[in-house]
Amino acid sequence: MNLSGVAVLAALLLLWELSSRSSPNLRSYFPPPSEVTFVLFRLAFAREILGHLTKTLERFLGGYLLAAAIAVSLGACLGYFRTAHSLFGLLIELLRPMPSVAIIPVAILLLGIGDAMIVGVTVYACAWPILINTIDGVRSIDRTLVDTGRTFGLGRWRILREIALPAAAPYIATGLRVSLPIALILVTTSEMVVGGSGLGYFILDEERSFRTKEMYAGIVVVALLGYGLNRLFIALEKRVMAWHRGMTAKGVS
């Protein structure tokens, strides 16, 4: 927590607060932070927003974890087995640059309007960075490492599980880190499109009803959710990847 960072944030909030209070026009679009905060607490105590938060979190976890499971397994195989890579490489190169939100209408057709669609879209979006990074990671492991596994009598699958995946872990971690905000974006966007529940829906609904303070409160909650998830990820990564952290600090590749 650096003091100068906090100071900048405080200064901006103060600027917003003062400008908002001085102009009635501005006030309707940008209500003062103090009033937003007040509304935020009211919503929290009324539990309404917590219900939406829980819904969003559930969909996030479902989509993100499912994407991770699928993409890491698939990526490991595609990275490890040369034939698989030559077969699917082109397909990946074509699909990968497409913005994932474009898939929302498709998801609605296939999965209807509801949790399945939201999780489906999220899985699709998150999977790509994790997949690409996993493939890269597995492909880049040194031949000597694989030969080491072989000289100890390990078969291809054991080498993949016990040597290739751990060796590729730094790359996989990068993919997982990049996907985290993507998952949250897709969940909230889908919630806006599909409606019903969740923070995305809440934010849009409040906007439509001209309840701007509530809308901002929703945005703040989403921001805090993203921040919290990110910090949690960093803490977990620190523990699991301690071995790698030390290596790179020393300047070893």
Residues interacting with another protein, by CB under 8 A?
A: 142, 144-145, 147-148, 150-154, 162-163, 166-167, 169, 243-244, 246-247, 250, 252
| Cα–Cα distance for residue pair 2/59, rounded to 1 Å | 33
Q: Which is nearer to another protein, 24 or 153 (CB)?
A: 153
CB of 252 to another protein, least distance (A): 5
Q: Residue 127 CB, nearest distance to another protein (Å)?
A: 24
Count CB neighbours of 94 within 10 A. 9
**Residue 40: other Cβ atoms inside 10 A:** 20
Q: How far is the CB of 243 from another protein (least distance, A)?
A: 5
Cβ nearer to another protein, comparing 110 with 240? 240
Q: Work out how close the CB of 130 gets to another protein at its nearest, in angstroms, rounded to a whole number.
A: 19
Positive or negative: CA dihedral 128, 130, 131, 137: positive
Task: With beta carbons less than 8 A apart as the criterion, state whether 13 and 35 touch.
Answer: no
What distance in Å separates the CA atoms of residue 186 and residue 112, rounded to the nearest whole number? Answer: 16
Residue 93 vs 162, nearer CB to another protein: 162
The whole-angstrom separation of Cα 207 and Cα 245 is 44
